[in-house]
Every structure is written in C-alpha cells, then in structure tokens.
Structure 1
Amino acid sequence: MGRAEERRARQRGGRRAAPKRHRSQPATGTTPTGPTTGTTPTGPATAPGGRASRSAKPAKPPKGRIRRLFTWKKMLGTFLGVCLLGIGGFIALYMYVDVPEGNPLASKQSNVYKYSDGTVLARVGRVNREMVDLSKVPKGVQHTFVAAENKSFYHDSGIDVKGLTRGLFNTVTGRGTQGGSTITQQYVKNYYLNQDQTVTRKLKEMVISLKVDRRLSKDDILAGYINTSYYGRNAYGIQAAAQAYYGTDASKLDVEQGAYLASLLQAPSQYDWAVAGPVGKKLVQQRWNYVLDNMVKQKWLDPAKRQTMKFTDIIPEDPKGMPGEEGQKGYLVQLANQQLVERLMATEGIKRSDAEAQVVDRGWTITLNIDKKKQAALEKAVKTQLTSKLNPKKRKVDDHIQAGAVSVDPNTGKIVAMYGGQDYFKHYYNNATRRDYQPASTFKPVILAAALEHDATTQDGKPINANTVYDGTSGRQAVDQGSKVGFGPPNEDHVNYGPITVQKAMNQSVNSVFAQMGIDVGMSKVMDTAKELGMDTEGMQAVPAQTLGSMGASPLEMAGIYATLDNHGYKVTPSIVKTAEQKDHQVKMSNPIGSQVISRTAADTVTSVLTGVVDDGTARKNVANNPLRSGQQVAGKTGTSDENKSAWFTGYTPDLVTSVGLFGEDMKKKAHVSMVGATGLLPPPGRVNGGTYPAEIWAAYTFGVTDRAKFDLNTTQGAAVAPTDTPSWTQTPSRTPSNTPSSEPPTSSTPSRTPSQTPSQTPSQTPSQTPTTGTPTTGQPTGGPSDDPLNPDGSLGFGQ
C-alpha cells in the first residue's frame, strides 16, 4: 500500500493494511513488527507493557462540510464566473449607453434667494463663458492642465481603472469621492452628465469616456475640458477665467498664470488669491508648485526656467453688475453659496470644485436667515454713523475706510443681518467674512474665558477671577515661573495703571495685564479655548503676542465667539442659510447650536465682566450713555489694532450679538493702512478707536431692534452682579442717577461707580490693594472719557 493509498485510507477512517509477508521473511534477519504471539497486525502495534507504538498515528476525522464546499476548484470557478458576468455586463452596458448630446447651458438656471420671511431677496443667474479654440491657448498653458489633473492623458484610454474602482467603492460604501478621474472623465461629467455622486452616473461616465476617447482627438477633449470647467468668480472656461483673474485673453497667458488657473480647478473659491485666507493661500501655492514640478518631470518645462518662476499677482474681482447682486445682496448671496457648498461637501462627500459646480446657477431656492427689517436697520446705522461722514475728496484717508458687521441671534445661531461693504460691485471683498485684520483687544475675553475654564492661577498661585490684582504697568516684562519671557507690550499712550483688578483691566483694555494672564493660563490653553469658542486657529502659533489679538479674524468669527459666551457656553456657529432646495433635492442644514464647549459659569462670568466695559470702560460714552438705550443690559469689548489699521466693537444683549469692524484698506495698493484722521478726527491722536464709530454703529443698530432685557447669569463675579471699585476717573457732574447703567442690582439706587468700596467684594480684596482702584501711576487723564476732546471714547490702553 503506497503513501497515497494510506492517506485515502486515513481520510476514510480506516487503517493501513499490513503488507503481505512470505513465510521466509523472518529469515532475512528482520524483526516482525507485531507480537510473536501470532496476532495479526490489523490493529495498532503494541509495545511491551501495553503502550501504543509512537510510530502509529491516530486516524483523522473526515473533512468538514465547509471545507468540501470551498475547494480551490470551486472558488476559482466562481471567480471566473463573476468575471465573465462582469465582462458580459460591461459589454451590454457599452452597447446600451450612447454618447448623449452635449448641452452645458441646459443645466444652468437662476438661483432664487429669499429673506427669512419668504420675500425674494435676489435672483442670480448668468453663465459667463466664451469658448476658445485650443490653438489659441499656448502649448505650455495646455500642459499645465494635463500636469495638474492627468499626467497620462495623452496615452490613456480615457479612464483611470484604479481611480474609477476606488470611486465606485467609496460611493457604494458612502465614503464620498477620492478623485482619480481623468481629464476625459471630467470633461464628460461637465459636458454630458452632471455632478451627481451615484453608481449609475459613474458607470455612465466610464462608458461615455471610453467612447469619447475613441471618437475625439486628445486636443478636442482637452479643449472641451478647459472650456467647460468652472474657475470661480462666475467664470466658466479658460477665456472667462483669464479675464477674471488676469484681465487678459487666454491666448496671452504665460505658464505661471496657466499653472494658477489649473490649480484653481481643485477648489475655485477657496483658492481665489484675492480673498483666500492663510490656509487657502498656502494650499494654492502648494498646488501651483505641484503643477510646475510635474511639467518638469514630463519634460514639458526646462528645470532651469522652472527655478526662476514666481507666483504672479491676481487682480481683484470686478463683478460685472450681475442682476440681483447690487448693494449688500451680493455679499449675502456669496456667504449663502459658501455655506451651502460646505454643507454639500460634508453630507455628500464630494470635493469642493464639484460642490461649487452643483450650487452656482443650478436652480436652487435658498431661504436665508436674514431678517429683512434688521438688515435694513444695520445698513442704515452704517450709513448714518459712518459712510455719510466720509469725504474722500477732502481727506484721502476717508477713501480707505471699510466697514463690516455681522449680527447673530445667540439662541438660534441665525445670522439675522450682515454688512459686507459699501457695494458688492464696488468692493468685492466681504468685510464681514474677511480674516486679514487683527481683532485686537476683542480677543481679551477669550483669555479670561480660558483662565476661568481651566481654573488657572497667577504666578504666585492665586486663582484668576474678576477681582484678581495684576500689575498694569505699561511695558512690564511678562514672567513665567520667575523668568522674563521677552514680551512686555505697552498700554495705549503708555499709560501706567499700577496694581489693577482684572475687571478694571478689562474695562480699560490694559495690555500688560492680559499679556501676563495669557502666560499664567498657558498660551496653548488660550488658543485651544479660542478654537472651542469658534475661532479658526489653524496655522496660528500659541505665543504671548497673540494676547494682543494679533492673529487674523473676521466679524463673523468674533460674532460666533461672543454668541457662544452669550449662549452660556453652548457653541454657536453662525448660519445664514435656513433652507436650500432644488426641484427634487433638499439639503438639510446643520444645527447652528452645538454642544457646551465651556462651562456656564465661565461664560457667564465673562459676560458679567464685559458689562463693565460698557458701563464703566471704553464703550461707556457711545454705548452705555447712548440716548437710544432703553434699559437693555449690554456686554461687549472694544478693540483697536496697532497703527490703527482696524477698530472693533463686538457687543451683545441677551437676544442679539453684533460684531462691527472698521478696516483701513488701500484698494489700489492692496495694502492695510492707518485710519488716523478719518472723518476729520484731529491728531493727536486722531485714532478711530473701537469705542468711536464701531460702537456708534453698534448702538444705533442694536438699540433700534432689541427690547429691554437682562442677562440670566450664573456667576457671583463681575460688574453685572457686583458693583465695581472706585472708577479710574473722576465722575463728572453731568453724570446723573437717571443714567445709572442697567447692570446695577435692582435693589440698589446707588450708581455702580460709587467712590466707596462695596461690601460685595470678595474677602481676598485686602486694604493693602488700595491701588487697584485703577488710578495709573503716571499719565492718567483727570477728566472722564467724555471730557477728552482728543480721545472722546475714553480709550486709555493700546489695542483697545
């Protein structure tokens, strides 16, 4: 019996048969394997003592049903069968699907935008496209698009099998798209199909791409692609894009410009250099370099010439008077489109360029959260308080003043009003969303919020709260664990305050105090809190200089941060889109109100402290004492950046948060400039402080649209729940009890600015801390804020 027979016997559960032996076998000198007793060797051999021989193995059980079912022959047959079915199905699909008639204009429709009450705000829709023959596009520019999107374009079959397989898998599993399409596929999607992310559409795209690649030359396909793609700025096709971004024809583009336009296709709006934030600019430069480096690899560009290429300037957008976007409407439409694009990216897993192509001119009906009356009131406030006072013919600086504002309902997160600039056709940048100016001292409440949230302590171990005393000396070097950190910011006008409480330091916006506080808390914790509250901190360094608000931020961001404080620590992400729907497609927008990101006590304490800024600080003259105020309790913070290039007031009542920013901008030079002397303010100092025009705009708008309301605060600290110390200036005789701020306890008829120390202060406030009344050691004005003709808002600290 051979080995094969032995294995089969074991599989059947049998035993190996003993070999037949001749009687003469023992004579050979071999020893029989069985006992000499004459027993047959059919059973296992037994050694003396009854033990089984080690050479004999027990029989294996029969193979299981699963093992018999999944044999390699059956699996191979199944695989081949599936392949044959797939091939057959693809052949049938290839025979069934025809190349449709291309009609790229047919899918373009006007979008309708409505106010929150359903009345029409704007109808927007016009396709800006001019077809251009590929022969008029320089060869180097043609190569930029191939290098950016599909290096194998000139020798592929029209599809990328790996990319298509990945795309189908991601669509089926709900993971969105991961790119990988060839230029032919993208052209088919743009010209013959649509941007829908479905398995059916992708299969059609594959088949049509194969057929188009056989019917058309590569030049025809490339021409179709660059003429149908969307480049942002309402520009479809390379000719419209060349005009929009460089003010020239496609025939005159150079390789550097072509590389930028090719880069734009990945994320047109985000990569628009004229309005891109720091992240967008970084990404588009990386993409631009990627395109040129690929051209070198493909031997389409000389390496030496590549080293000399520089990123070229982009002209600002000049909207061509698109119907429905005049005045403020264009800014509202722009932000609505942006937020809808981001929502489509999140819910449908598509890339930005595809999402933008789905939104622009696609027949959407988009209802905004904008309140028609509040919008009109905000526009009127900016006009009466600022723009009507600007005279560019008389003062050059007046031509450089830009205003932006965002108003948010903190309980719902709805953007109820927004001011983006003088006119969308005259100033394309949306001042309400731009992030290229410093928020200055409006960032200080974030530092205090971080201190309270993290139970931070001073260098000598004392808890940081509204009554904590700091050294307010101008330029004082901040220290960390006894060592100087090389950072000592001056206060505005270099005023020294000496020992001063956190409440008073917030009222007067004392830089030296908050520089030290940021270090005490830990700048990484401060920036983490800023992110939690709603600031985009990507790329920002956690360094002491950020305590001055030296990062970039927009009125939209600051409104969201303060709305989160107003909403007792629950995250507010301001939203302008209420509903968005097409003929058979409705997008569910995300809830603007999120989870609690800081404790209610911390948020409410900051609010309480900020009421002191209004009633006893830099916003007293134009907010607390505003004749339009009718009992509304107000919290807020002024801000004035270095060199007076921006000025802010972000304030809130219990039911409305509004952030107003003024920015010095030279449009011709594309530069930030000082606003000193605007509207005829006389130097020195002639500054446009946060307590002047920003506060005046805020008050004229807010007090006209809000009712009398009080904050519901869960805190025992701050000006809203405990009267402050002796004021840092002498109260003027004109200050009568009838003007007592609403932040006073209702049971007291004594103004919060009484000369005496109130019993409500904590025991930690010892008599030895008498200097914390805020009287500066040098340079303190003797009159109140309204007494200083050169500084009428009471600004006493750099960066207010």
Structure 2
Amino acid sequence: MGRAEERRARQRGGHRAAPKRRRSTPEAGAAPTAGGTPAKGRIRRLFTWKKILGTFLGCCLLVILGLVGLYLYVDVPAGNPEAQQQSNVYKYSDGSLLARVGETNRESVDLSKVPKDVQHTFVAAENKSFYTDSGIDVKGLARGLFNTVTGRGTQGGSTITQQYVKNYYLNQDQTVTRKLKEMVISLKVDQKETKEHILAGYINTSYYGRNAYGIQAASQAYYQKDAQKLTVEQGAYLAALLQAPSQYDWAVASATSKRLVTARWNYVLDNMVKQHWLDPDKRQAMKFPVPKEPKGAPGEEGQKGYLVELANQQLEAQLMRQEGISRNDAVQQVIKRGWTITLNIDKKRQAALEKAVKAEVTGKLDPKSRKVDGDVQAGAVSVSPKTGRIVALYGGEDYLKHYYSNATRQDYQPASTFKPVILAAALEQNATTQDGKPINADTVYDGTSGRQVVDHGAKVGFGPPNEDHVDYGPITVQKAMNQSVNSVFAQMGVDVGMTKVMDTAKALGMDTSGMQAVPAQTLGSMGASPLEMAGIYATLANHGEKVTPTIVKSAEQRDRSVDMPDPVGGSVISRTAADSVTSVLTGVVDDGTAKVSVASNPLRQGRQVAGKTGTSDENKSAWFTGYTPDLVTSVGLFGENPKNHNQVTLKGAMGDGRIAGGGPPAKVWAAYTFGVSGKAKFDLNTTQGAAVEPTPSLTWSQTPSETPSRTPSSAPPSTTSTAPSRTPSRTPTETPSGTPSSTPSRTPTGEPTGDGEITPPENPLNPDED
C-alpha cells in the first residue's frame, strides 16, 4: 500500500464521512432560483479564480498591445523650442501698450565646456540613476498619469530624459496625451541618443529664472561668468534653482524660500558624495555661493518691469490653481509664450503716483551730500476697494537698477499700521478688557510708556515703550489710535487673544505663515508688503468684504484665455467692525499723527480720509496706509544698504532727522490721492469712532486712581475735517480700580488739548512722528 493510500485509510478510520449536501436543498437564507440552484452558487461559478486571472491577464495584454501600438505610432518630433518663444504683450487697462517682452536670453554650449563636476550636480539634483535608467521613471509616470486623470495636480519624479523631452519636443501642458507621448519619446530618445547628448539638451533648454534659458545664460545671469568657469558650489545652486526658479532666486527669495533653496543645495552636494562624485572633505568645506545682483531685461525699464513681474506672478498662480500644475511648469507656460496680458493699471493714476514719489522722496535725495539718502527705497500700491483692481504701483527707482520690487517685498516691519488689525479683531470678537468691559473706541486704557502687559493678573513679560517714552496716562482707544500709543495696543492684543488677532490678520489678507501669535506682534514686528497692507485696508474700506488686490485684468494666448479670480470675495469680518475701524482711523488723519501731512493739505478739499502711520524699530521703515471711499493706497519707505541689501536706518535721510510715517510717506499719499480720487463720503454703519458724534459715556479698562486734573472740554474739529473730532465732552465718573499714572513722567513742550491730556513733544524736524 502506498503512503497516500495509508493516509486516506487512517483518515477514514474512526471517523464518519460527512454526508454530502444535496444540490437541490437551498442553504438557509439563500433564495432558490428557477432551476433550484442558489444565487450564491451562481456568483461563485461566475467569479472563479480562473476567470479573474484570465480577465486580469487579458487586460494586461490589451495594455501591452496598446503601449506597443503607441510606441510604433508616436514618432520623435523635430525639436524646435525657439518657435515656442514668443513676445508677451502687456497693456494698460485702457488697452494702450505698456511693454513688449520677448527677446529670449539663450545660448547653448557644448557639454564639454561644462565642468564634469557641474554636470554631476544636475544629475544628483534630478535623477541619480540617469546614467543607467531607460529614460523613464515608471512609478513617477504612473503617479503623474493618476494625478492628472483624478485632477490632483502634478508631482515630481520625471527623469532628466523626460524633462528634456518636455522642454525640447513637447510643451508644459498637463494632459494624459502629453504624458503618454512624453513616455514614448523618452524611451526612443534614450535608445537613439547618448546620455551626454540628453544631459546637454536638458541643461541647455531648462529655464533658470532671471530670463535665462540654458546653463550659459544662467551662469551669466547669476554669477556673471561663462558656464565653463562655474564652481561645483555654483553649479549646485543652478541645479537647485530648476525646482522653482522664481521662488529660489536669492535676490528676491523670502526667508522661507532661502531656507528651502539652501536645503536643496545641500541635498545636491550630499547626493554627489553618495554617488562618489565629490570628496567628503571638500564637501564639508563648501559654502553657499550667494549669486550676484540681477539685471532687468530691455523693455522693462522704469516701473514697467515691476508691473510685468507682478502680472506674471499672478497669472502663474492662477494657472497653478486651474490646471493643478507646479510653479515651475506655470512659469514655463507664462514666460514669453505669446500672451496678451491686460493690466488693471490706470495710466493716469500710474503717472500720478510716480510723480508724487518723485516730488516728495526721490527728488529730495542727495546721496553725494548725505550718504544715508542712498539707502532710501520707496514702494507703493494703490487699489480700488470696490473692485480690488491695482490701479497704480511703484516698485522702486528703476527695474533695471533695483530688481527687487519694493511694492511686494515682505521683509520690513509694517509697524503701527498693524494696530487697526488689533482693533478689528477686538470688535469682531466682541472682546473685553481684563476687567470685563467691552472694547470699543471709548474704552480707556492705561497709556503709561513701558507698562507691563498683564493677562488676568499675570505679567506676560512684555512692556513696550511709547514713542519718545511719553506717558499718556488714561487714554481712550480713539486717542491711542490717533497718537499710536504702543502700551495700549499691546494690552489690547492680550485682551483679545493674540491667536485671534493673527487669525483676523490672515482673514483680512496678511500672509501669517510662520508667524507666532505673541504680544510683540502688536507692534507690527512681522514682515509685510505695501501690497498686503493695501489689501488689508481695502477690505476694511469695503465694509469687511475680502479684497485681494489684482493686477491682471485679462490674459489671452492664441486660442485660449484664462479667467482670473474675482478680486472681491465674501465677508471676512462684520460690516460694523470694519466700519468702526474706518471711523476710528479718520481720527488719525484729523487729530493724530497724519494731521499735518494729510488733514492740513490744501489739496484735500473736504475729502474724508482714514489711515494709519507707522514707523518701525530703529527707523528702518516708515509707512502710511490710508484711504478715501474710492481709493486705498499704501506707501512705504525702507532703509536698504545698496551693496549688501541689509536693512539700515532712515534717520537723517532728506535732511529731516527721523523719518516717520506721518512725514514723507503720508506726503506721497496725499500728493497722489488728492489728485486722483473723488470726493465721496464714507458710508459707515457704526455709532463709534471719530467719524460720528461722540456718545455721552466712556468705558474704562484700567480706571485711574483720581479724576484727571484738567476737565476735558470739546475741542473744535480740524477746519479741513468733514466729521467732528472724537473728543469726550465730560469727565469720566466711574470708580477707579487701578492706579495708572495720569501725569506724564516728563514735562512735554506741547500745550494741553481739550480732552485733559498733554500732547507729546513734537519733533522739531518732523512734527508728524509716529
């Protein structure tokens, strides 16, 4: 007896075989069919493993046959990248020509003229297996196809061969058809051409930013040398740039972008060490090669380059949103691709803004006599709050001389122009003071300079001084906004909650990424641009409905056009909160730090104006952001060393001593705005602030220990104001609960005002100091 038979005999011994189930007896719960066979049995027979396997193999065969057919059908086209480069035409809002940008900065070089180590930086950055692969990354391609089909955008992973094919033979469109063609052509190119030919084609057709196509143009643009003289460090930077050329350009990169490109640079060099292309000891000694200053292209002189740059950026951002493409692909689709881009820029207002800056700032600079005058940079953005259109922009002296746009730079503190955001947060959140009193324009705070901020009895370790260390004693929120009293708004920020303050800032349009919600932010210690501040104030002017300043009116390219998003969105704060802030800000103009430069300007002619001055720490920046009912404009002056671009003080510029926000920035604003704005009145839904009649009672946050010695009386409003002064008409009578000082710690030189306070001493060189 064989082993198998013995095993079956043992299994039978002592065990009864289970009776076979009748086929005709349906299982419990199974519905019998007409033929007596249960439905579940039919399903089992329908989906047998043999049929599933057969179906799968059949599908695989169809895919393979399809790919073979595609491979045979698709030919390698003739490369003609130069034909894809066409001039972009930029127009003013009225259709007249602003600029034509189209000369391609490209010069191909033989790979033998590029140092071997520099060649390796590109391989290490993009495709370590380049020298051994078949030209495609199957996983990356499958991922890209899936993301394209499902609308999830694009992802990296393409080989150098694929990127070369996309640059040289195809285009940047993100479609399934283009990706399949890319795969087939990449396979054929890899079989037909040498790796050296492909690598040369890749580095000679890629876009590096700064209007540079190809490694030779990039080498000149960033290091002012030929490609054959590049060092490994410099090559690694150029290789890192390809991931995001506009974002990673050191001259215009944000702090975050600088960290990212530095990390990318390190990644490239570390990969070279892993591939045994770079000695570890040499790698450790390498330092980041900061590139040289960029230069604008012909046709972009004056303000044109700044306008073109922002228009390109906004169009690229919209393409990224609409088509789910990467920033790099969006740049490739926009730069010199035959677009006709009409801007929202109003030619007359643009000319008026340039004239105002020249009259009040650049025309008064004399670097030969005053060295500090060579450090002054001006930037401004003007927006219609009802439409969100950027109608004028000033980016700097000249795009060919100062490549970095002062209108969009985010590296300077907005200082006290951030204070209205704190008040907006307080009103929107119905916030209360430490003793439970509602925060509004009439709330009285302790304006003692350096007063320690408290959070329910506990000191938070922050006590900012006021300008010139002036003690204001008990002071209303309205008056504190007028005089820009730091100690009041530092406490208010904690009363509201700094997280809520920063949330409001984000909702209004500030880029708060990477910012901490700490009390120091109440002084505007974060970075911001005139573009951002114009958007924030435009949202306030638009009664709380979000305004995203937009420079592109329309964009058309041959047979397609791009729909730009509506610059005006939904409500982000209530109308009452927004209008109340506007009402308070009219007091800054009529009775505060902007009075001399704005309220008293003879060109005002009864216009209602709201705004806020700002002067940063060490006087490195000075701002005025203000608005009439139909126009919002943010003006900033920035101290910048022209050699190393470090931030420096503005003190002494134009021979004016300290440069404050109520000085030159406010003068630029007034000279421009009063020449181009209408005379409409604010339509405000509020019962508080300087633009409405004062109410009879006041709310105290920290009540003084004694009644102020000088009884307030109503002061006459400014002769140029269109609204009454927001000055209390009676002495507060609430019982004091705290003991803040009501007497300034030093004797001011000014005369007492009608509200019982003493005006801080005026700067003899600049009476509008913030």
Q: TM-score, normalised by structure 1?
A: 0.87
Matching residue of 2:203: 226
Superposed CA offset, 1:699-749 (max 9, x none): 1111111111111111111111135999x9x9xxxx9978241123xxxxx
Q: Is the 8 A contact 1:114 1:121 kept in 2?
A: yes
Matching residue of 2:702: none
Residue from 58, 63, 66 that aligns with 1:89: 66
Q: Is the 8 A contact 2:586 2:691 kept in 1?
A: yes
Q: Is the 8 A contact 1:405 1:659 kept in 2?
A: yes
Q: Is the 8 A contact 1:611 1:720 kept in 2?
A: yes
Matching residue of 2:767: 793
Q: How many angstroms does 1:207 deviate by? A: 0.7
Matches within 5 A, 1:18-167: 61=38, 63-167=40-144
Q: How many angstroms does 1:286 deviate by? A: 2.0
Answer with 267-276 or 783-792: which moved more: 783-792
CA 1:767/1:660 → structure 2, altered by over 3 Å: closer, same or farther?
farther
Distance across 2 between alignment mates of 1:455 and 1:773: 28
Distance across 1 between alignment mates of 2:747 and 2:167: 67
Q: Is the 8 A contact 1:191 1:228 kept in 2?
A: yes
Q: How many angstroms does 1:123 deviate by? A: 0.7
Matching residue of 1:345: 320
Letter in 2 for 1:343: Q
Q: Is the 8 A contact 2:301 2:399 kept in 1?
A: yes
Identity among equivalent positions (%) equals 73
Answer with 717-726 or 237-246: which moved more: 717-726
Distance across 1 between alignment mates of 2:40 and 2:744: 94
Matching residue of 1:742: 722
Residue from 282, 302, 322 that aligns with 2:298: 322
CA 1:112/1:199 → structure 2, altered by over 3 Å: closer, same or farther?
same
Matching residue of 1:619: 594
Distance across 1 between alignment mates of 2:477 and 2:352: 35
Q: Is the 8 A contact 2:207 2:213 kept in 1?
A: yes
Matching residue of 2:223: 246
Distance across 2 between alignment mates of 1:522 and 1:644: 28
Residue from 555, 559, 576 that aligns with 1:584: 559
Residue from 528, 546, 559 that aligns with 2:534: 559
Q: Is the 8 A contact 2:660 2:768 kept in 1?
A: no
Superposed CA offset, 1:751-793 (max 9, x none): x277xx437x9xx774979999997453433159999562433
Distance across 2 between alignment mates of 1:174 and 1:647: 45
Matching residue of 1:689: 660
Q: Is the 8 A contact 1:404 1:430 kept in 2?
A: yes
Distance across 2 between alignment mates of 1:95 and 1:333: 44
Matching residue of 1:468: 443
Matching residue of 1:666: 641
Distance across 2 between alignment mates of 1:474 and 1:724: 28
Answer with 534-543 or 205-214: which moved more: 534-543
Matching residue of 1:274: 251
Matching residue of 1:56: none
Matches within 5 A, 1:318-717: 318-319=295-296, 321-323=297-299, 325-681=300-656, 686-717=657-688
Q: TM-score, normalised by structure 2?
A: 0.90
> Unaligned regions of 5+ residues in structure 1, if any?
16-58, 745-751
Matches within 5 A, 1:172-191: 172-191=149-168
SS at match of 2:419: helix
Answer with 666-675 or 301-310: which moved more: 301-310
Distance across 2 between alignment mates of 1:213 and 1:337: 35
Superposed CA offset, 1:141-160 (max 9, x none): 21111111111111100000
Answer with 770-779 or 221-230: which moved more: 770-779
CA 1:651/1:11 → structure 2, altered by over 3 Å: closer, same or farther?
farther
Distance across 2 between alignment mates of 1:92 and 1:287: 40
Superposed CA offset, 1:584-606 (max 9, x none): 12111111112211111111111
Distance across 2 between alignment mates of 1:775 and 1:308: 61
Matching residue of 2:756: none
Distance across 2 between alignment mates of 1:580 and 1:738: 47
SS at match of 2:270: helix
Distance across 1 between alignment mates of 2:310 and 2:733: 49
CA 1:62/1:511 → structure 2, altered by over 3 Å: closer, same or farther?
closer
Q: How many angstroms does 1:667 deviate by? A: 1.1
Distance across 2 between alignment mates of 1:389 and 1:584: 49
Answer with 765-774 or 97-106: which moved more: 765-774
Matching residue of 2:701: none
Matching residue of 1:12: 23
* RMSD, aligned α-carbons: 2.8
SS at match of 2:451: coil
Letter in 2 for 1:707: G
Answer with 119-128 or 279-288: which moved more: 279-288
Superposed CA offset, 1:148-186 (max 9, x none): 111111110000011111111111122121121100000
Distance across 1 between alignment mates of 2:539 and 2:489: 21
Superposed CA offset, 1:462-514 (max 9, x none): 22211111111111122222222221111111111111111111100111111
Superposed CA offset, 1:179-237 (max 9, x none): 21100000000001100111111111111100110111111111110111000000111
Distance across 2 between alignment mates of 1:274 and 1:136: 27
CA 1:616/1:768 → structure 2, altered by over 3 Å: closer, same or farther?
farther
Q: Is the 8 A contact 1:518 1:544 kept in 2?
A: yes
Answer with 621-630 or 775-784: which moved more: 775-784
Letter in 1 for 2:202: Y
SS at match of 2:246: coil
Letter in 2 for 1:431: N
Distance across 2 between alignment mates of 1:437 and 1:137: 40
SS at match of 1:269: helix
Q: How many angstroms does 1:461 deviate by? A: 2.0
SS at match of 1:739: coil
Matching residue of 1:24: none
Q: Is the 8 A contact 1:381 1:701 kept in 2?
A: yes
Q: How many angstroms does 1:8 deviate by? A: 12
Distance across 2 between alignment mates of 1:771 and 1:74: 89
Letter in 2 for 1:142: Q
Distance across 2 between alignment mates of 1:234 and 1:125: 10
Task: Count matched residues.
Answer: 728
Matching residue of 1:201: 178
Matching residue of 1:263: 240
Distance across 1 between alignment mates of 2:161 and 2:235: 19
Q: How many angstroms does 1:62 deviate by? A: 5.5
Distance across 2 between alignment mates of 1:259 and 1:524: 40
Q: How many angstroms does 1:13 deviate by? A: 1.7
Superposed CA offset, 1:598-649 (max 9, x none): 1111111111111110000000011111100022111100001111111000
Q: Is the 8 A contact 2:748 2:761 kept in 1?
A: no
Q: Is the 8 A contact 1:12 1:62 kept in 2?
A: no
Distance across 2 between alignment mates of 1:547 and 1:585: 46
CA 1:740/1:626 → structure 2, altered by over 3 Å: closer, same or farther?
closer
Letter in 2 for 1:393: K
SS at match of 1:447: helix
Answer with 250-259 or 296-305: which moved more: 296-305
CA 1:145/1:107 → structure 2, altered by over 3 Å: closer, same or farther?
same
Answer with 230-239 or 75-84: which moved more: 75-84
Distance across 1 between alignment mates of 2:742 and 2:478: 10
